[in-house]
Amino acid sequence: MANFLRAWKFETGFLLIISVALLIWAGTVYLSPEARKAREANDYLERLQAEQARDNYRGAVSDENQKY
């Protein structure tokens, strides 16, 4: 019985340490201002590429606009 209690305490402590380490990693890597800026830049680039893909003229100027 004593071995079971010691093993249970060890396993609980081990899982607690792993959980805290994952929370610290998430706080520093995923939630950091630099990571947030990088995600926003990637989102902007994806939106820009989607708009360019939907562009009918593919960047060419229509004939009506070339007159002026």
Instruction: Please give the residue range of the domain that contains residue 41.
Output: 22-52
Tokens coding 57? 């003229």
| Segments in 1-68 forming alpha helices (H) | 2-25, 33-54, 63-66
Tokens coding 35? 């990571």
Asked, for residue 64, whether it belongs to a domain, the answer is: no
Tokens coding 21? 């380490």
Provide the pLDDT confidence category of residue 57 given band limits of 50, 70 and 90: low
Asked, for residue 48, whether it belongs to a domain, the answer is: yes
For residue 51, pLDDT over 70 is answered with: yes
For residue 58, pLDDT over 80 is answered with: no
pLDDT tens for 19-46 read: 999 999 988 888 888 888 999 999 999 9
Asked, for residue 34, whether it belongs to a domain, the answer is: yes
Contact status, residue 29 vs residue 35, Cβ threshold 8 Å? yes
What is the model's pLDDT at position 42?
96
pLDDT tens for 3-21 read: 767 788 889 999 999 999 9
* Domain count of the fold of the chain: 1
Asked, for residue 13, whether it belongs to a domain, the answer is: no
Asked, for residue 7, whether it belongs to a domain, the answer is: no
The number of residues in the chain equals: 68
Asked, for residue 38, whether it belongs to a domain, the answer is: yes
